[in-house]
Structure 1
Amino acid sequence: MENQFNYTNAFNEEDNLDLKQEIGRYLRYWPWFALTLVIMLVSAYLYLKYTPRIFETYSKVKILDESEGLELPTSAFIFKRTNINLENEIEILSSYLIMNRVVRELNLNTSFYEEGTIQASQLEILPFGFEQNIKQDSILKNMSYRLNILSDGLLITDIETEMEFSFSGFSTNNKEHNLPFNVDLNYDESKNYLLGKAYVINFNPIKQTSLDLKSKIQVEAIGDQSDLLKLIIKGESKELSEKILNTLMDVFNRDGINDRQLVSKRTLDFIDERFVYLAKELDSIEIDQEVFKERNNIVDIATDAELGLQQRVKSDEEVFRIENQLSLSKLLDTSLNSTSESDLLPANIGIENASINALISEYNQTVINRDKLANGGGSNNPLVKLAESQVLDLKSNINRSLKAYSKQLETTLRQLKGRNQRLSGKVSKIPEQERLFKAIQRQQKIKESLYLLLLQKREEAAINLAITEPSIKVVENALSGVYPISPKPRIVYAGALLGGLLIPFGVLYFMFMFDTKLHSKEDIIKVTSKIPVIGEIPDLKRKKDIIFTDPNDRSALAEAFRILSSNVNYILPIKDGENGKVIYCTSTIKGEGKTYVSLNLSLALSSINKKVLLIGADLRNPQIHTYISEDKQKPGLSNYLHDVNYDWKDALIDGFEKHPNHQIILSGSIPPNPAHLLTNGRFKKLIEEAKEIYDYVVVDTAPTILVTDTMLISQLADATIYLTRANYTEKNLLKFSKELQDVGKLKNMAYVINSVGASKSYGYGYNYGYNYGYGSKN
C-alpha cells in the first residue's frame, strides 16, 4: 500500500516552488528583519547626530614651466605641450619636507578641540587668549591637557598623568606653573558664554604631525594634457583646512622660487667672495707697480725713454761741441806758438770763449798797430818797442787763456762723457724695464677685467634674484564645500535600510548554507522520494502533558498522533485472516524521539478501541519507564528473553487508566548481550503470541546507526516507522536510512518527523556523534 500514500506527487513541480519556498523560508524570520531595521535606523540617527562633520577642501594650482618664454616652439612643445613632469611635482608637493614647513608655519602640532556631550569637535584656534610657552622642537612626545572653564576660575588637567592645576582667576598668568602654555580669558567679552565649557589642547611631535598631514593631503593631476594640480584635504574645521592648503601652496611656491634663486644666490656669494681676493690682488699689483717705478725712478716708461734719448742726443752734441772747442783751442795754440811775433792770429774761428776772442782781436789790432809804427818809425822806435811789448803781453795772455780754456773744456768733456755713459746705460735698460712693467700692467689689466666681469655678473645675478618668476600660479585658492562629505544622511539611512535587510538575510543565508539539520519533509523528499513521510509531530515547548493520556483530547499533539495512526494503516499490508499488525519505531541516533512517538502512537491506536501492546525493545538504553513513572529495573522483555520459564504476560503493565486496551512491556534489566537475546527465538515467539491477542504491536527498537539490534529483528515487522527530528537529525543521516530501505534491512519503512516547528534559529553546533552508551558486544 506504499503507493497509496506517496507524497511525492505533491512535489512533482518542486522546481517551480523553490523561489516561493526560499522566500517563505526567510519570511518566517520577519521579526529579525524588523528588529534589525529598527536597530540600524536608530544607529544611523545616532551616528548622524554625534559623528563629526567632515568637509572637503580643495585648491587648484598651475605648475609654471621655467622654459616658457619667447623661445621658438620645439617638437616636444608641439607634441607634448609641456615639459613639466607632474608626477615629480606631486611628489614634491606631498613630500615630508614641504609638510614639515607647513606644520611649523601654522604650528599644527598644537591642536584644539571643544568637548561635547559625546564627542569633541576640532577648532582652528581657541576662542580666547592662548600663548604657547614651549618650542615646537621641544615637543618630543604627545601631551594632552583638558581645560575646564568654571564659574570661579580655571581647572587644567594633564590627561596622561591626571595632574590638576587650578587657577582662581580666568588667567594662568597670575600663578606660577610648569604648563607648556598660558590662557587668558580676562579680556574676552564672551567669557560668560564660555563658562562650563571644556577644551582639549594637544601637543604632538613635529615629525608625527608632519606624517599625519602628509597622509591627509591628496594631490592629483587634472587631465592628461594639463599642467593643473588639485590639492584636497578633508577635515572637521573648514577654516583650518583652507589655511593649510593656502599655506601649502605658498610654501611650495616659495620652495620653487628658492630653487630658482639658488643659482643667483650662489653666484652672488661666489662673486662677493672673489671680490675680496681680487681687491687684495689688485692692491698688491698696484703696490708692486709703485715700488717698481720708485726703484727704477720711472714716472712713465715712454716719456722717460724719449726724455733719455733726447738727453743723450743733447749730451752727444755737447761732447761734440766741447771736443770742437778743444780742437780749435789746440789749433789756435799751435798757431800762436808757431807764428812769429808779426803774424796775425785767426779771429772768429769758432772759439766760444769771449775773452779769448777779445784777446785775439786786441792782439791782431796791436800787431797791426806795431807793424804800422815799425814801418813808419823803425824798429828802434820807442813806440814800436812799446807796441812789440804789448804784442808779447797779449800773446802771453792768449796763451794762458787758451790753456785755462782747454783745461776747462777737458773737464767739461770728461763730465759729459760720464753723463753720456750713464744715459746710455739708462736707455739700454728701458726695454727690460718696459717688459717687466708691461708684465705688471698685464696682471693688473687681467685682474681689472675680471673684476669688471664679476661686477657685471653680480648685477645680472642681483637682477635675476629680484625678478625671479613664481613656480606656480594659483588658479583657485582653498575652497570648502558647503555641505559635509561625511556623513551623508541619505547614504547613511539608505545603508541602514540596506543593512537592516542584508544583515539578517546574510546571517540566515549562512545559517541555511551551513545548516546540515533536517527541518521539514521537503528535506527528506530531496534525498528520497520513494519513502513516504506519514507524519509530522509538532514541537511542544512544555515539558509536561506531552503524552496522549486522554482518548478524547483535541490538542494539536493528539490530532497529530491521530493523523499518524491513521496514516500508519495505509502503509500496513492488507491480508485476509491475518492477526495483529507489528509496527517498529526506530531512528538513526539517540534523541530523535522514537520512544516518545512509539508511546503516543500506541496510545492513539488504543484511542480508537484497538488493543495495543507497546514493547520496549531498546535493551541498551530503555526510556519508556520515564513516561509512566515505573522502575527501570522492573521485569520486562530482557527477563523474558533470558528466562525460558518467564511468561511475558507477567510483565504486562496497564500504564494509562483511560486506555484500557493499552498495555506495555518494559525493556527490563539491561543485559550484557542484547543482540544474542533478540535472536534466540523467544522474541519472535513473543511477537507471534502477541499478534494473536492484540490488534497492534508497537515495538520501540534501538537506533540503527551503531548497533544491529533492530536489523536482527526487522523481518518480524509489518511496517517500520523511521523517526527523524527537525533541527536535530543530520541530513546526511537520511542516506543511511535510505540505504537500509533499499537493501531490505528495514521492512515497509516510512518517515515521521518529530518536533516540526522547532526553533528557527539554527544556531546549533553540528555534532555527528552518537553518544548512546552502547557497548560493542552483540
Structure 2
Amino acid sequence: MGSTFNNMYEFEEDDNLDLKQEIRRYLRYWPWFVFTLVVVLVSAFMYLRYTSPVFETYSKVKILDESDGLELPTSAFIFKRSNINLENEIEILSSYLIMDRVVRRLGLATSFYEEGTIQTSNLMTLPFAFKQIIQSDSIVQEQSYKLKITQNGLDITNVISERNYYFSNYNTQSSEHSLPFQVNIESLDMRPELIDKTYIINFNPIKDVALSLKSKIEVEAIGDQSDLLKLSIKGESKTLSENILNTLMDVFDKDGISDRQLISKRTLDFIDDRFVFLAQELDSIEVGRQDFKQDNNIVDITVDAGLGLEQRAQSDEEVFRIEHQLTLAKLLESSLINDAESDLLPANIGIENSNINVLISDYNSAVIDRDKFLSSGGVNNPLVKQAVEKVEELKANINRSLSTYATQLGASREQLSQRNRKFSGRVAQIPEKEKLLRAIDRQQKIKESLYLLLLQKREEAAINLAITEPSIKVVEFALSGSQPISPKSRIIYAGAFLGGLLIPFGILYLIFMLDTKLHSKEDITKINSKIPVIGEIPDVKAKEDVIFNDPNARTALAESFRILSSNVDYILPVRADNKGRVIYCTSTIKGEGKTYISINLSLALSSINKKVLLIGADLRNPQIHTHIDEDKRKPGLSNYLHDTNFNWRVNFPEIG
C-alpha cells in the first residue's frame, strides 16, 4: 500500500538476524515438531525391533615364509618359494576359485530361512531331516520353495512357478514329485513346535553364490611390515560367518599344500622318467666302452702304453743284435774270400752261432796242422795234402755256414722290423685311443653324476611330499562380535531424534524461504525501517464481516480501519487550493487486498464526514461492484478516459 504523497524511499537490506524472533517464529509450530519426533522415534523402534542384526566376524592368519621343506646341500636344483607378496596372497584368498571351493564344501548354494510375521531370519540348517536331490552344479537359475508345516501335513509351494505340492504324512518320499529335495518330519518329537511354521528353501547357482561371497569377504594386511592378514565378513548368522571364515582358511591352506605337493609329485614323475633314459644311456655307454677296449685290446691305457714302449725297445735291441751278427758274418765271409792263403780266422769275435764258432775253431786247428806239416814236409807230402784238403773243406763249410747264417739273420731282421713297425704303430695310436677312451669315460661320469643327483632329488621330493608344511598359521580362528554392527540402536535413535527436529525445521525453512507475502509490519521494517507503516489490518476469514458498514462497530476489523483512516488523515499533506487529495492503493498481483482495503478505507473516511470518491482502476477484472451491489456495466472510469466530455456527476449525483 502506498500514497501519492509518500516520498521515494531507497530500500536498505538489514543483515542483522533477530534470533529471538526467528526462534519464536518456529516455536509457533511446536506441535509439528512433537508429532514428527514421536513418529520418527516410533519408526526407529520398529526398525530396530524387526530388522535382523548384522554381526562382524573376523579371523587372522600369518603367511608362512618357509622353504619347500627338507633342503639338502645341493640347493641349486631345489624348487624354492619366492619371498612373501601379501598382495598376491590377498588376491588368492579372495579369488573366485577359493570361494567356489568354500561354497561347495559348506553347501552355500542352498540357503534356509524361517519366515516370521514380520521378520525373516536366516538359518544354518532346517530343524528337521532335509536331503538335497539336485546336484549343485546343475542349478542354472535361482529356485525358491516355501514349506509350510500344517496340522495335516506339508504344504510346499514353488515360489517362482507357484506350483503347489501337498504331503499328508509329513514325508515327501511317500509319493512321487519333481521337488529337488526330500523332507521327513515323521519321527520328530518336536513336530508340535513346528506346526504353522513356514520355511523358505532357496537354490542358487554356485557361480552367483561364489561371486556374492567374494564381494562380502574383506582381506587386508595388518601393518606394513607384518605378514599377518585379517579376514572379515558381515552377516546375520554368527555361526555361518564363522564357518565360512574357518573353511576359507582351511581351503587356502590346503590349496598351498596341494600346490607344493603337486610340485613334489611332478618332480618325482620327472625324475622317474629320466631314470629310465639315464639307465639306458649308461648301459649303452658301458657296452660301448667295453666294445672299444675289446676291439683295441685295451686293458689299461697306461699299462698298455708302457708295455708297448717296452716291447718296442726290446724289438729294437733284437734288430741291433741281428744286424751286429750279420755284420760279423759278412766280415768273416769277406775275410775268407779275400784270404787266398787260408790264414787263421779270428775266433770269438761275437758270432752267436755255435756251429760256426766250432767250424772256425776246427779251421784254425787245421790251418795250424797244415802249417806244421808244411814246415816239416814238402808240398807233395801226403799229410800236407791231406791237411790242405781239410783246411779247404773246413773253409768251404765255414763259407756255407756263414752264408746260411746270414740268410737266417736277414729273415730274422725282416721279421723283427715288421714287429717293430707294429709296435711303433700301436704306440702311435695310444694318444688317439686315450682321447677316445677319455671321451667315453667323460660321458659315463656325466651320466653317473646326473643319475646320482636325480636320485638325491628324488629322495628330497619324496620327503617333501611326506612332510609338506602348511602355508599359513592361524593366529585367530573366526570370532564374532557380541554386539551387532548394524543396526546400532544409539545411532538410529540419535539420527531419528535429529531427523525429527530437522524434518519439520527444513520444511518450515523452505516454506519461510519461498514465502513472498507480508505477514506483519516487521517484514517491512526488517527490509527498510524508513518506510512508515500506517496500519495493520487483520485477516478476516468470515466473508460477511469484510465490509466496514457500521461506524459504531467495535470489532477488530472496525478498529483497525479507524486507526488506518486516522493515520491517513494525519499524514496526508494539506493543500492550499483546498482541492481533493488522492490516495492510490495498489499491489503487484491479484488477491493481495487492493479492493478490500480501498472499500473499507473509503467507508472509514466517510464515517468521519469526509467526502470520498472511490475509483476502481482495474479495467481488466474489476471487483468493486461485487461488494457494493452496483451494476458492472454502469459507466465509470473507462468512459471518462474514452470521452473527456463525459459527465460523471450525472451518474453519481450523491457525490456531486
Bigger strand share? 1
Alpha carbons of structure 1 residues 265 and 588: separation in structure 2 relative to 1, 3 Å = same
Q: Which residue of 1 aligns with 2:149?
A: 149
CA distance in 1 between counterparts of 2:155 and 2:438 reads: 87
Q: Which residue of 1 aligns with 2:232?
A: 232
Whichever residue aligns with residue 224 of structure 1, its letter is D
Whichever residue aligns with residue 570 of structure 2, its letter is Y
Asked if 1 retains the 8 angstrom alpha-carbon contact of 2:54 and 2:485, the reply is: yes
1:315-341 C-alpha deviation (Å, 9 max, x unpaired): xxxxxxxxxxxxxxxxxxxxxxxxxxx
Q: Which residue of 2 aligns with 1:114?
A: 114
Confirm or deny that 1:619 pairs with 2:619.
yes
Q: Which residue of 2 aligns with 1:501?
A: 501
Asked if 2 retains the 8 angstrom alpha-carbon contact of 1:301 and 1:434, the reply is: no
Q: Which residue of 2 aligns with 1:102?
A: 102
Q: How does 1:587-666 map to 2 (within 5 A)?
A: 587-639=587-639, 647-652=647-652
CA distance in 1 between counterparts of 2:436 and 2:484 reads: 86
Whichever residue aligns with residue 54 of structure 2, its letter is I
Q: Which residue of 1 aligns with 2:586?
A: 586
- What TM-score do you get using the length of structure 1 for normalisation? 0.59
Q: Which residue of 1 aligns with 2:58?
A: 58
1:679-702 C-alpha deviation (Å, 9 max, x unpaired): xxxxxxxxxxx6xx7xxxxxxxxx
Whichever residue aligns with residue 38 of structure 1, its letter is V
Asked if 1 retains the 8 angstrom alpha-carbon contact of 2:37 and 2:497, the reply is: yes
Shift of 1:39: 1.4
CA distance in 1 between counterparts of 2:172 and 2:555 reads: 82
1:558-600 C-alpha deviation (Å, 9 max, x unpaired): 3332232222223212457836543222223322220111111
Alpha carbons of structure 1 residues 583 and 253: separation in structure 2 relative to 1, 3 Å = same
Alpha carbons of structure 1 residues 611 and 515: separation in structure 2 relative to 1, 3 Å = closer
Asked if 1 retains the 8 angstrom alpha-carbon contact of 2:111 and 2:201, the reply is: yes
Shift of 1:640: 5.2
Whichever residue aligns with residue 92 of structure 1, its letter is I
Q: Which residue of 1 aligns with 2:87?
A: 87
Shift of 1:436: 11
CA distance in 2 between counterparts of 1:565 and 1:206 reads: 87
Shift of 1:495: 0.7
Q: Which residue of 2 aligns with 1:467?
A: 467
Whichever residue aligns with residue 103 of structure 2, its letter is V
Shift of 1:231: 1.3
Does the residue aligned with 1:148 lie in a helix, a strand or coil? Answer: strand
Whichever residue aligns with residue 22 of structure 1, its letter is E
CA distance in 2 between counterparts of 1:498 and 1:98 reads: 45
CA distance in 1 between counterparts of 2:209 and 2:167 reads: 30
- What TM-score do you get using the length of structure 2 for normalisation? 0.69
1:384-423 C-alpha deviation (Å, 9 max, x unpaired): xxxxxxxxxxxxxxxxxxxxxxxxxxxxxxxxxxxxxxxx
Moved more, 452-461 or 619-628: 452-461
Whichever residue aligns with residue 463 of structure 1, its letter is I
Does the residue aligned with 1:578 lie in a helix, a strand or coil? Answer: coil
Q: How does 1:680-691 map to 2 (within 5 A)?
A: none
Shift of 1:614: 2.4
Shift of 1:36: 1.5
Q: What do you get for the CA RMSD once the two structures are aligned?
A: 4.3
Q: Which residue of 2 aligns with 1:483?
A: 483
Q: Which residue of 2 aligns with 1:332?
A: none
Whichever residue aligns with residue 26 of structure 1, its letter is Y
Q: Which residue of 1 aligns with 2:124?
A: 124
Whichever residue aligns with residue 157 of structure 1, its letter is T
CA distance in 2 between counterparts of 1:516 and 1:268 reads: 91
Alpha carbons of structure 1 residues 579 and 140: separation in structure 2 relative to 1, 3 Å = same
Q: How does 1:230-269 map to 2 (within 5 A)?
A: 230-269=230-269
CA distance in 1 between counterparts of 2:556 and 2:69 reads: 97
Whichever residue aligns with residue 601 of structure 2, its letter is L
Alpha carbons of structure 1 residues 69 and 5: separation in structure 2 relative to 1, 3 Å = farther
Asked if 1 retains the 8 angstrom alpha-carbon contact of 2:14 and 2:526, the reply is: no
Asked if 2 retains the 8 angstrom alpha-carbon contact of 1:102 and 1:247, the reply is: yes
Asked if 2 retains the 8 angstrom alpha-carbon contact of 1:5 and 1:532, the reply is: no
Percent identical pairs in the alignment equals 70
Alpha carbons of structure 1 residues 554 and 216: separation in structure 2 relative to 1, 3 Å = farther
CA distance in 1 between counterparts of 2:83 and 2:443 reads: 46
Asked if 2 retains the 8 angstrom alpha-carbon contact of 1:60 and 1:231, the reply is: yes
CA distance in 2 between counterparts of 1:467 and 1:560 reads: 105
CA distance in 2 between counterparts of 1:233 and 1:141 reads: 25
Q: Which residue of 2 aligns with 1:31?
A: 31
1:58-111 C-alpha deviation (Å, 9 max, x unpaired): 11112222269999xxxxxxxxxx963333322222222222221121121211
Asked if 2 retains the 8 angstrom alpha-carbon contact of 1:5 and 1:571, the reply is: no
Q: Which residue of 2 aligns with 1:133?
A: 133
Asked if 1 retains the 8 angstrom alpha-carbon contact of 2:616 and 2:637, the reply is: yes
Shift of 1:193: 0.9
CA distance in 2 between counterparts of 1:636 and 1:461 reads: 119
1:409-455 C-alpha deviation (Å, 9 max, x unpaired): xxxxxxxxxxxxxxx9xxx9xx9999999999998887666555433
Alpha carbons of structure 1 residues 576 and 445: separation in structure 2 relative to 1, 3 Å = closer
CA distance in 2 between counterparts of 1:616 and 1:245 reads: 86
1:211-263 C-alpha deviation (Å, 9 max, x unpaired): 11111111222233322222111111100000001011111222222333332
Shift of 1:123: 1.0
1:279-300 C-alpha deviation (Å, 9 max, x unpaired): 66678889x79x989xx99xx9
